[in-house]
Structure 1
Amino acid sequence: MNLAKRFVADESGATAIEYGLVAAMMGIAVVTIFTAFRGKLTEAFDTMGDALKTQASNIK
């Protein structure tokens, strides 16, 4: 019975679980944001890539 009471009162792993849940929620938020803005991000990176190609071709 004493072992069961100590097991129920033990909170040493609770913090690690909480940090894991927070990290999982942040990961889900990042994926959701990137998915929502995929078109705009693709357009922005394409524009930057084109600008870099133009500048690189001017150097040669």
Structure 2
Amino acid sequence: MTNVLILGAHGQIARVAPDLFLKGTDVGLTLYLRNARRLCDLAGNARARVVEGDVLDEVP
């Protein structure tokens, strides 16, 4: 299965993209955003993984 990472998953375009991917393809999604509670409606979806963090944080 192909996986797609969406950074800033609560941005204007990124709010539309998960629905398009989940309905039109068989890809798995990783949705990365600062406040994971914003995407609680995708929490039960087996093909969507929600990760909370900030893209500006440095990795140790």
Compute the TM-score of the two structures, normalised by the length of structure 2: 0.23
Higher strand share: 2
Compute the TM-score of the two structures, normalised by the length of structure 1: 0.23
Larger radius of gyration: 1
Q: Which has the higher contact order (CA 8 A, sep 6+)?
A: 2
